Structure 1
Amino acid sequence: MVRPLQYREIEAFRAVVQTGTTTAAAQLMNTTQPSVSRLLAQMQAAAGVKLFGMYKGRLRPTQEAMELYSTVEQHFVGRDVIERELAVLRQSGAGSLRIGCTPALALSVIPPVIGNYLKQYPGAHLSIQSLGGNELRDGVLHGKFDLVLSTMVLATDALDATVLHRAQGVCVMHPDHPLAKRVNLHVQDLQDQMLVTLNASDSIFMQLQQKMMAFGVTPGATIETNYSSTICRLVAQGLGVGVVNPYMAAMFAQDLKILPLQPECSIEVVLAVPPQYEPSARVDTLTELLRAQFLTY
């Protein structure tokens, strides 16, 4: 009786045309030879035309079968394309993983995390852009980044941000600096010292400025820069005392004396993702790797 063909029957038909035997077709379909033979018989009955004949122990397709196979193959080519695309997505996700972060984190925290990430997704393509807080916020809101990481405030009414790590600013100086003999420093110890600071808009600088004003501390001279790495390089040359985040200080630990500062200048590392998209498995993986990395500080 002629009836609509079932997908499994079509799959068996295609496998037999490609391999020439029901045994080989069964291996291709990961099933048994009797199952393939049954599906083939069902399809031939449903199709209402002869599809195969036996020739020297092999199934030989009829001309009608080959015309049908041409149509079937077009369908399966589309499915194969889908399967290949899924395989790529399983391995490395859609396109590139676009990461935005502040410069200090790009230099300190991100490199070892990316190394661990690529062990799990060796074929992945990554884009890492280091920008200021406003650029990161605008970028993630407009879907230009899959994930952003910042030591600056990101949260707005339109964007939620998760705190990944909390820390305190540290003082950095040359190991031969007079203050390097101390176990820790109080902001009053900065009186008359050459101070290397971040720009006035930076959270660490604003907190430090408030604490110096509260204790009546006046530095002897100041050098202002917009990068924590520059502060570390300058003080490593013996140019004063700086206050930076502990992530960047750790990068220069062999060249610097690092001391805790009281009262504390608090630091929060926040993570945000585009609010219009559900985070992918790749983003979830990177987030967990970041959490693990911050446990080392």
Structure 2
Amino acid sequence: MNFRQLEIFRALMIGGSASRAAELLRVTQPAVSRAISELESRIGFPLFDRVKGRLIPTPEGQLFFNDVNNAFVGLDSLRSSAARIRDFGSGSLRIASLAALGSTLVPRAVRRFRETNPHTSITLQVLSSSGVRDAVANQQFDIGLAADEVDLSGVDHSVFQSARAVAVMPPDHPLTKNDVIYAQDLHNMAFISLAPEDRARSRIADTFEAVGARPHIVVETPASMTICALALQGVGIGLVNPMASDGFEKRGLVIRPYEPAVFFKSYILFRPDAQRARLVREFTSALNDVLRIGAKD
């Protein structure tokens, strides 16, 4: 039993006659009859009854056709999959991001990417940095953006961004009169802090310790965007990744430079070998383009 025999059998069942099968496959009618006879000999039961020059499928032949047809449907699916991989990489792209980038920079990159890949299916999820790393390591996502506190084992990675922290506060905060916020300015101030496991928090704490400042932590949260939202509501002042503050200034949030410099660092993560896929390469390029454009603004 070989593929050509099965292909001819399927064409005969679909076409309804040996002549039609021969026409569909561009072979001679004797070649169709010979292939069917060889297939019947190989499988050990008749596929057709010969009635007055016509081929009538036997019950066994009909059952066998159902399985053969299902196999060909699977092959058609494989052909479509191969075409998608050839033309679009995987045909879909799954992206996971930390919140600071997942609602600002990443959507801009998605828009840029879709200009040249309008038919690609995209999944975007905003997760904690550890969740991003796990999702990529477990091959649930193709690309991840995570803060530098994550475990980088099991994933390909490179540094993506290093952004200098800014201070955010409500418009009626007493420090709005300052052009620059210094670490010592935050002594005894109501302070909205990042979560303890965040490495940026440790770097911020070092700047406080260097000048003996003791801010009063009123809320802890893992997301810079949440700090912005809390600061806008008058809860306190915070230090955030500037990407997370995008759009908040129009709503009244006051943003000031912070001294000494503290940097929020992020990594771009890939499944092993995923960087070879065209879609992954193109989306990575879109991310870098948007990051570069933002740096110029």
**What TM-score does the superposition give when structure 2 sets the normalisation length?**
0.69
Structure 1 CA distance, aligned partners of 2:27 and 2:135? 58
Per-residue Cα deviation, 1:58-85 (whole angstroms, up to 9, x for no partner): xx99644776999xxx9x9999876644
Q: Is the 8 A contact 2:156 2:271 kept in 1?
A: no
Structure 1's 154 and 218: CA in aligned 2 closer, same or farther, altered over 3 A?
closer
* Structure 1 residue 289, shift from structure 2 partner: 0.5
Q: Is 1:262 matched with 2:259?
A: yes
Q: Is 1:272 matched with 2:244?
A: no
Structure 1 CA distance, aligned partners of 2:144 and 2:163? 19
- Give the 3-state SS of the residue equivalent to 2:276 in structure 1: coil
Structure 1's 93 and 61: CA in aligned 2 closer, same or farther, altered over 3 A?
closer
Q: Is the 8 A contact 1:204 1:244 kept in 2?
A: no
Q: Is the 8 A contact 1:155 1:161 kept in 2?
A: no
Structure 2 CA distance, aligned partners of 1:61 and 1:211? 81
RMSD between superposed Cα atoms in Å: 3.1
Q: Is 1:286 matched with 2:291?
A: no
Q: Is 1:170 matched with 2:166?
A: yes
Structure 1's 85 and 142: CA in aligned 2 closer, same or farther, altered over 3 A?
closer
Amino acid in the other structure paired with 2:108? P
* Structure 1 residue 253, shift from structure 2 partner: 2.1
Structure 1 CA distance, aligned partners of 2:249 and 2:217? 24
**What TM-score does the superposition give when structure 1 sets the normalisation length?**
0.69
| Matching residue within 196, 199, 212 for 2:195 | 199
Structure 1's 188 and 68: CA in aligned 2 closer, same or farther, altered over 3 A?
farther
1:220-231 correspondence to structure 2 within 5 Å: 220-231=216-227
* Structure 1 residue 227, shift from structure 2 partner: 2.3
Structure 1's 284 and 140: CA in aligned 2 closer, same or farther, altered over 3 A?
same
- Give the 3-state SS of the residue equivalent to 1:123 in structure 2: coil
Amino acid in the other structure paired with 2:227? I
Give the corresponding residue for 1:122: 118
Q: Is the 8 A contact 1:196 1:231 kept in 2?
A: yes
Q: Is the 8 A contact 2:133 2:146 kept in 1?
A: no
Structure 2 CA distance, aligned partners of 1:87 and 1:196? 51
Give the corresponding residue for 1:27: none
Q: Is 1:214 matched with 2:210?
A: yes
Structure 1's 184 and 157: CA in aligned 2 closer, same or farther, altered over 3 A?
same
Structure 2 CA distance, aligned partners of 1:80 and 1:64? 27
Structure 1: which 5+ runs fail to align?
A: 1-50, 53-59
Per-residue Cα deviation, 1:142-181 (whole angstroms, up to 9, x for no partner): 2222111112334645434211221111101123322112
1:1-297 correspondence to structure 2 within 5 Å: 63-64=29-30, 84-154=80-150, 156-254=152-250, 255-295=252-292, 296-297=294-295
- Give the 3-state SS of the residue equivalent to 1:89 in structure 2: helix
Structure 2 CA distance, aligned partners of 1:207 and 1:145? 30
Structure 1 CA distance, aligned partners of 2:161 and 2:120? 26
Structure 1's 88 and 61: CA in aligned 2 closer, same or farther, altered over 3 A?
closer
Give the total of aligned pairs: 237
Give the corresponding residue for 2:60: none
Structure 1's 178 and 67: CA in aligned 2 closer, same or farther, altered over 3 A?
farther
Structure 2 CA distance, aligned partners of 1:268 and 1:226? 14
* Structure 1 residue 91, shift from structure 2 partner: 4.8
Per-residue Cα deviation, 1:180-225 (whole angstroms, up to 9, x for no partner): 1222111011112111111111122211112112211112452222
Structure 1 CA distance, aligned partners of 2:275 and 2:231? 44
